[in-house]
Structure 1
Amino acid sequence: MKFVTYLQHDGVTRSGLLQGDDIRPIISSAPDAVLAYIQSGASHPALETATVPLADVRLLAPLQHPPRIFGIGLNYVEHAAESKMKVQEVPTVFLKLTSSIVGPDEDVIIPPNATQPDYEAELAVVIGKPGHRIAAKDWEDHVFGYTIVNDVSARGVQLATSQWVLGKSFPTFTPMGPVIVTRDEVPDPHALDIKLTLAGEVMQNANTRDLIFKIPQLIEYLSSIVSLEAGDIISTGTPPGVGLGRTPQRWLKHDEKMVIEIERIGTLTNRACFVD
């Protein structure tokens, strides 16, 4: 199943299942129907009979209010090397504020103090079943599905201190979507091609098999410290090719289009928009 959240012409936000070029709306009064469905633990959502043409709506981030977004840093060996940072013996974990979420085709707004703005293509895991101290062997039982995250980062803010949250949490700095693909449709999340193009140029091109800490390890490690909640997002890290690691360094420019493609999930497109 592919879950989407969308904005109708009347300004009402709804959620549903994407089926080809149509959407089957979820029957729900919850403000975030996808999150409510995940939290319910139901095997299948209640759906309306009538469909809505995808062309008639605007897709939003599939999850509007996830409990938390856990970012994983330096999770590809070559990215750690280009960032001139040592790969840790345990995952490098930071948070992105949920107020930074935007959907596909929305602008990433870059104010003057968001210096050295950078792009990061990432596979993101959506937690389904909550849990604490989850064993790595049981990881699949706790995964609802997968989506795409662009971990946009203001490197000038991020690297000014040892704490990364603010540099990665400006409003609009977490583009997400366009769908959440359920676990059953992705047989192996560690064998997915992942690519980012910037203004038509390929900047990142890798495969999730190169993740250092793979999803079972991430779930086990995070849940050994905090209880994972239904709807939590784990953004698994970015492959090499970011602007920070290039010579010369390559920061986002006004009106540039970032396009992320991840095999079996889809394409997430956003534009960098500099403002005064």
Structure 2
Amino acid sequence: MKLLTFQQNNDYRLGIKTDKGILDVLSASTQLSVTEVPTTIHEAIEQGDAGQAALQKLVDQAESAPEASNSWLEEESLKLGPCVTHPNKIICVGLNYRKHAKETNMAIPEYPILFNKFNNTLSADGDEIELPRVTEKVDYEAELVIVIGKNAKYVTKEAALSHVYGYCNVNDLSARDLQMRTQQWLLGKTCDGFSPLGPYLVTADEVGDPNNLEIKSFVNGEVRQNSNTSDMIFACDEIVSYISQHFTLTPGDIILTGTPEGVVMGYPPEKQVYLQAGDLVTIEIEKLGSLTNRMVAERG
């Protein structure tokens, strides 16, 4: 199942992507007098399999119910939101692709390198991303995101993926000059809007093996990254298990799993051209759709 959020009346509404269009869950459930159904993305995540079954039942009812005809929307007409709107934690894994480690001349890490971002970085497919005036080196990073669906503490590698609700795309935008200013990467990672997320949250059953997905990025239509999640140093099950040994993961937490080779920072210095106002960046991961954002100069 592909879920998304869209903005309406200064709020985020839950939508389901289908062959017929986007089903507005709140509208359809109201029109069909269905009460036992999640109506926000976080309710859907927290209700897990039961919530997914309820949403599928709503789709089936709405497809043949004339009274729900106004609940079907055209995706192109919607202003999307981040596909996870209020994660409790945004956890990132750095240097997690073998070829990326090689291109940046860094050693293969012995343990996952963890850092965090904050909710101010969340943005959506189609949003314009302002390039902060305090940096001249904003880089793109195509990444697979794990969305946690069940509390996870001390879970084994074998059980780890049973705690995952689904997956989505992110562009882990990074101001390299700020990131490398100190040994802590946080500053260069947490500028406003620096985590465009979406467009869809795709449930785990539809994705299958998260460690065998094509992953790409494009800048103005030019392929910059072209890899596969199989190049990860620490696979998704290892990441979830490792993090859970140290603190509890809760439903709606998101984990950014690292980026493959092809980022600007990996180019020879004379060939490094960082993102400029007007650049259009697309992140594309197999089965998860395409996430596109235009970079603009900071306003105000």
Shorter-normalised TM range: over 0.9
Distance 1:217 1:255, change over 3 A: same
Match of 1:2 in 2: 2
SS of the residue corresponding to residue 170 of structure 1 reads coil
Residues paired across the two proteins, number? 274
Question: Secondary structure of 1:17's match?
Answer: strand
Shift of 1:12: 4.3
5+ long unaligned stretches in structure 2: 30-34, 63-67
More helix by share: 2
Corresponding position: 1:110 with 2:111: no
**Deviation at residue 36 of structure 1 after TM alignment:** 2.1
Question: Whole-Å Cα distance in 2 between the matches of residues 67 and 133 of structure 1?
Answer: 19
**1:1-276 to 2 correspondence within 5 Å?**
1-8=1-8, 10-27=9-26, 33-41=40-48, 42-44=50-52, 45=54, 47=58, 49=62, 50=68, 51-53=71-73, 54-247=75-268, 248-275=271-298
Helix, strand or coil at the partner of 1:225: coil
Note the aligned Cα RMSD (angstroms): 1.9
Give the Cα separation in 1 of the matches to 2:150 and 2:295. 35
Counterpart CA distance in 1 for 2:212 and 2:260 is: 14
Q: Secondary structure at the match of 1:216?
A: helix
- Aligned-partner Cα distance in 1 for 2:181–2:72: 47
- Alpha-carbon distance, 1:146 to partner: 0.5
Alignment partners' CA distance in 1, 2:95 and 2:178: 17
Following TM superposition, by how much is the alpha carbon of 1:115 offset from its aligned partner in structure 2, in angstroms? 3.1
Say if 1:21 and 1:55, in contact at 8 Å, map to a contact too: no
For residue 201 of structure 2, give the secondary structure of its aligned residue in structure 1. strand
For 1:3, what is the secondary structure of its paired residue? strand
Q: Could you state the TM-score of these two structures normalised by the residue count of structure 2?
A: 0.86
Letter in 2 for 1:3: L
TM-score (normalizing by structure 1): 0.94
Check whether the contact 2:122–2:197 (CA below 8 A) recurs between aligned residues: yes
Taking the aligned partners of 1:125 and 1:193, their CA distance within structure 2 comes to: 15
Summarize deviations over 1:196-230 as a string: whole Å, max 9, x none.
Answer: 11111111000111111001110111000010010
Shift of 1:21: 4.7
1:11 is displaced (CA, Å) by 4.5
